[in-house]
Amino acid sequence: MRVLDSHLHLWDPELLHYTWLEGPLAWLFGATEIEHARIARATTERAVFVQAETVEDDFLEEVRWVAGLAPRVGVVGIVAGARLDRGTDTTAHLEGLAAEPLVVGVRHNLQGEPDGLAVSADFVTGAREVAARGWAFDACVRAAQLPEVARLAGAVPELRMVLDHLGKPEVGTAKAPVAPTMEWVRDLDDLARHPNVWCKLSGLPGEAGGDWSAEQLHPFLDAAADAFGVDRLMWGSDWPVSVIGPPEEGDPYANVDGSPMYQPTARIRWADAVIAWAERRGHDVDAIMWTNAEEFYRIGERPTHEDSREERPRRGILGWLRGGRS
C-alpha cells in the first residue's frame, strides 16, 4: 500500500522560533522521530510538509531546513508559511519561496485571524498571486470560518484550495462523542460546491484531544465524502500535533498521573482507521491515501535518497520519553 501523507509537520525549537509550542510538543520532531512513527503497512511512504507556524521571520528558513531534510524524511512537497495580506511584501516573499523547487503551496494560518481577513482586498490579491504561480493554498480554519473560505473560493476560482482538518469541527471524545452539527454539515456542503476546493481527512484526533475512537469519527468522514466525493479527499496525519493525548495502553513510558503525552502509535492508528473506513464504505483507498494528494499538489513520484548532511544532536521527544525528561 502506498501512503502519501498530505499533512506532516516537523520542527526544531533550537533552530527555529515558535510561540505556540508547549508541553509534549515543545521538543524536536525531526527525521529520527518520524522514522519511529512510520506506517507499518506502507510499501512506499512519502509526505507533504505543512508549515509549522514559526514566527514570520523564519518562514523562509523553515523551508530551507525542511528541504535539507527532505531526502531522508521522504518529503516530496512543501507547503510554506506565507502572509497573503502584505501587498508588495507578500509578492517579495512568494518570489523568495519560488527559489525552492519543493514548494507546492502556501499556508496563511487563518484559524486565529479576525473575521473578514480572507476576503479582504489585500488577501484576495495575494491569493491570486499564489494561483498564478501554480501553487495550492491550505485553508486552516475553525468550523465557524467555513463560509468565509467559501467566499474566498468564489473570489479566486483559479486557486486550488484544500481544507485542513475538515474545518476543525467539534468531535468530543471517545467516551463522550459529539455528532456532526447541522451547521457544520451545511457549511461543508456549501464549500464543496466550489470544484477548486478539496478536503484533508486529518486533524480529528487532535480535535478530540488524542482521546478518540474510529467509530466516533466515522460520521465526520462520511460527511466529508458526501460533500466532496472521494476524488477530492486526501489522508493526512497532522503529526505530531494529533498524536498528543492520554497515555496509550501498554506504553511503558506513560505518565503516572495520566497527563497528556506523545502517543507512539497514534499516527499508525489514524491511518489504519481511515483505511478501514474507506474499505468498509467501498471507497478507493489508493486515491485517498496517495493519488488525490499527488494530483492536488501536482507532485510526480520522486525517488528519495539519504541526505549527506548529518543532523546536529538534539533532544527529541524520543529521548524525553526514554528518561531524559526535565
Answer yes or no: are the C-beta atoms of 8 and 34 closer than 8 Å: yes
Rounded to the nearest 10 degrees, what angle do helices 88-97 and 121-132 cross at? Answer: 20
For residue 312, the SS3 value is: coil
Instruction: Give mean pLDDT, residues 91-98.
Output: 98
Q: Which domain holds residue 67?
A: 2-324
Per DSSP bridges, beta strands 75-81 and 2-8 are unpaired
- Please give the tally of structural domains in the chain: 1
For residue 139, the SS3 value is: strand
* Grid cell digits, residue 311: 543532523
Answer yes or no: are the C-beta atoms of 245 and 263 closer than 8 Å: yes
Q: Has residue 301 got a pLDDT over 90?
A: no
pLDDT one-digit tens code per residue, 7-57: 999 999 999 999 999 999 999 999 999 999 999 999 999 999 999 999 999
The model's pTM = 0.94
pLDDT one-digit tens code per residue, 212-241: 999 999 999 999 999 999 999 999 999 999
pLDDT number for residue 56: 98
Which of 157, 53, 172 is closest to 109 using CA atoms?
53
Instruction: Give mean pLDDT, residues 255-279.
Output: 96
Domain with residue 213: its CATH number is 3.20.20.140
Averaged confidence pLDDT in the chain: 94
Answer yes or no: are the C-beta atoms of 166 and 197 closer than 8 Å: no
CA 129 to centroid of chain Cα atoms: 22
